[in-house]
Amino acid sequence: MQTESLDTDLEKQFLQFMGSCVTTVSIVTAFDAAQVPHGLTCTSLTSVTLDPPILLVCLNNTAGTLKAVSETRQFAVNILGSSGAEVARSFSSNSPDRFGAVTWEPSPTTGQPWLTACAIAMAECELEFTSNVGTHVVVFGRVTSLRVEGDLPLLYGRRSFRSAGAVISQ
């Protein structure tokens, strides 16, 4: 019993620790084999290598989006702009119609769900490989096309959304 208490305490501390990291907010989207769109809010987006361009996202192993990515071996990463907090909340909920509340269209190259009204950048990816880690799957994607707009990104940290402010130095 004492071990369970320590694990719970460590879990709470880990959440606080990770909450100190401010990250961009993205929506990972994919069509499943039946062409039904899936998507979820993701704050674990990382570049892996430039040559070839590979990124990674971490998806819960029970997510429908992960199943869609696994079926079609394609997905898109939509980085949200500063006005995208409601969209981020919607895609992190259990709502069955997440795409009904947002403007989207098929992406120009692979046709993945592109959140045109709120994404300031979008990467289309082909699945390279995955790695199971605890409750999540690390998904590595080879970037096949990119689109970048001009707005500031939506940020998340300390369990709240923020807008990117002024540049301090370059």
Percentage of the residues of the chain whose pLDDT score is greater than 70: 91
Q: DSSP assignment, residue 54?
A: E
The pLDDT, as a whole number, for residue 169 is: 41
Cβ neighbourhood burial of 64 (10 Å; 0-12, 13-18, 19+): middle
Average pLDDT of the chain is 88
On whether the CB atoms of residues 124 and 143 are closer than 8 A, the answer is yes
State the average pLDDT over residues 28-46: 94
Strand-strand pairing, 119-133 and 37-42: unpaired
Fold of 24-163: Pnp Oxidase; Chain A (2.30.110)
What is the C-alpha separation between 36 and 99, in angstroms, rounded? Answer: 10
Domain boundaries, the chain: 24-163
Q: Which of 12-26, 105-119, 130-144 has the lowest mean pLDDT?
A: 12-26
List the beta bridge partners of residue 145.
Answer: 124
Question: Quick check: 170 pLDDT over 70?
Answer: no
